[in-house]
Amino acid sequence: MIAEMKNNRPHPLSWRLWGLLLLVAMVWLIEAYDIGLTGTVLPSLKAQWHLSAWQSSAVVSAPTLGVALGVFPAGVLADKLGRKTILQVALLYYTTLTVLTGLSDNWTMFVILRFLAGLGLGATFPIPYTLFAELAPSHARGRSAGILDAFLSIGYFTSPFLASWIIPYGGPGGWRQMFYLGAFGYLVLIAIMRFVPESPIWLSQARSTVIPSSKKLWSPSFRRQTAMLWIAFPAVLLLFYVIMNFMPSLLLKEGFSAHQALLFASLIMAASIPGKLIESWLVERIGRKPLLISFTLFAGLFALLFSHLHQFSEIIMAGMALSFFGIAVDPAMKIFTAEQYPTAIRAKGVGAAEAVARLLGGALAPFILEQALSSSGIQGTLIFTAVVTWLGTLALSLWAKETRFVALG
């Protein structure tokens, strides 16, 4: 098994290796479902607790702020203690906090529990694709990440799809049931504990490696890629948060009913699944940099187009195109990030980049977007989204270096 994982010759992945990767991807599915809960329950919370724009912003930003604060320490610990250890602890922690959120009696309790759950979500986020990078051979890293990242989109789709039926017809406490379903994470944890091995690269290298000063994230050796990632990653992640957290609210503002808004939001999210499958094919053929640049460029264009449409069918099609490019770019960004650093500091580098991305693209920017949605409407919100996205495109164009087929050290 270890020899197969470390072998970089271009051969098909075995069913056993695919099974391990798919099991790790299940963590992403339930994590995506959890993240998606914020946007799907927000309209219900506004109605039940009469939230102001500021309070709604806090609901959206609280879990993401927790994610941003939890990512980097988890990366440091994963380099020291192992990828699997941190994955198990984080999964147990945030699953418990998610279930408890369903018991919230008021806005304050809800926001606190969502923030605390976010710490565990953040600790989990970088581990699966760090493991993907270290388990899969170099010729299949991008492909496997793209395919398995589709599990995130399945989770994002599942959240609003279930909510479209459970919340409208589940009575005043319908939104609570969505959080109770998060208990599925306990079953995934048991499977991870039993079947998933520790990263063989980490076992063979990281424990015995003394990190020299030249291998710090902002040393001359890594300054360029760190700067590029800290600009591009937040820009890419903003697209996801706009679609995941604000799409139901955007559709409501366009005149859709509550049931329609959640149902079509799930359909728009589902468009990212074929996008990720196509991305998984393209990323190994045209490379990481061309794919990242082209997908972010098109996503910004469709964000602008979405803001100028008014027919229901046109809005849905533009939203699906935005999701196809704006969310399908994520696996390429993630595996590209993991390929920037050596094993001894890979999880740290990934964690730092993801922390900055979650803080800027996932917590600060959505807070601004909620205010923009209240004051400037849909057009102002999506113009801001497009501009930030293209800043990321510019950083990738100027500073990114291709890492396709590069062996990890």
The pLDDT tens digits of the residues spanning 63-88 come to 888 888 888 888 888 888 888 999 99
Q: What is the rounded CA–CA span in Å between residue 219 and residue 196?
A: 34
pLDDT reading at 208 higher than 60: no
pLDDT at 7: 46
Looking at residue 206, its pLDDT comes to: 56
Do 326 and 20 meet the contact criterion of CB atoms below 8 Å apart?
no
pLDDT at 295: 96
8 pLDDT more than 90: no
3 state DSSP class of 249? helix
Q: pLDDT tens, 322-359?
A: 999 999 999 899 889 988 988 888 888 888 998 888 88
Residue 388 has pLDDT above 80, yes or no: yes
Rounded distance between C-alpha atoms, residue 119 and residue 72, angstroms? 10
pLDDT of the residue at 5: 42
Contact in structure between 326 and 363 (CB atoms under 8 Å): no
Query: What per-residue confidence (pLDDT) applies to 215?
Result: 58
Is residue 175 within 8 Å of residue 167, measured between CB atoms?
yes
The DSSP output letter for 207 is: G
pLDDT computed for residue 12 by the predictor: 64
| Residues near 17 by beta carbon (within 8 Å), at least 6 away in sequence | 1, 4, 5, 135, 136
- C-alpha span between 61 and 325 (Å, rounded): 24
| 305 pLDDT higher than 70 | yes
Instruction: Tell me the two tokens of residue 62.
Output: 């609280």
Distance CA 190, CA 279 (A): 31
Closest to 332 in 3D by CA, of 285, 279, 293: 279
Distance CA 219, CA 213 (A): 8
Q: What pLDDT, on the 0 to 100 scale, is given for residue 260?
A: 85
Phi, psi of 38 (to 5 degrees): -60, -50
Q: Rounded to an integer, what distance in angstroms lies between the CA atom of residue 237 and that of residue 131?
A: 20
Phi, psi angle pair for 196, to nearest 5°: -85, 125
DSSP-assigned letters across all residues of 159-215: HHHHHHHHHHHS-TTHHHHHHHGGGHHHHHHHHHHHHPPPPHHHHHHGGG----GGG
pLDDT at 101: 95
Instruction: Please give the residue that has the higher pLDDT: either 18 or 236.
Output: 236
CB 153 within 8 A of CB 28: no
What three-state secondary structure class fits 17?
helix
Write down the mean pLDDT value for the chain: 85
CA distances from 235 to 142, 331, 391, 395 (A): 20, 14, 7, 10
Average pLDDT over residues 100-110: 95
CA atoms of 251 and 229, how far apart (whole Å) = 32
Would you state the structure tokens that stand for residue 37, as one six-digit string? 């809960």
pLDDT over 70, % of the chain: 94
**pLDDT value at residue 210:** 47
Dihedral of CA 316/320/322/327: which sign?
A: positive
Task: Convert the pLDDT of each residue in 43-58 to its tens digit.
Answer: 889 889 999 888 888 8
CA angle 104, 109, 115 (to 5 degrees): 110
pTM flag (> 0.75): no
Tokens 């270096």 correspond to 401
Flag the least confident range among 120-124, 128-132, 207-211, 280-284.
Answer: 207-211
In this prediction, residues 299-311 reach a mean pLDDT of: 89
Give the chain's domains with CATH numbers. 13-201+219-399 (1.20.1250.20)
Residues, the chain: 409
Rounded distance between C-alpha atoms, residue 240 and residue 234, angstroms: 10
Q: What angle do CA 153, 255, 308 make, to 5 degrees?
A: 75
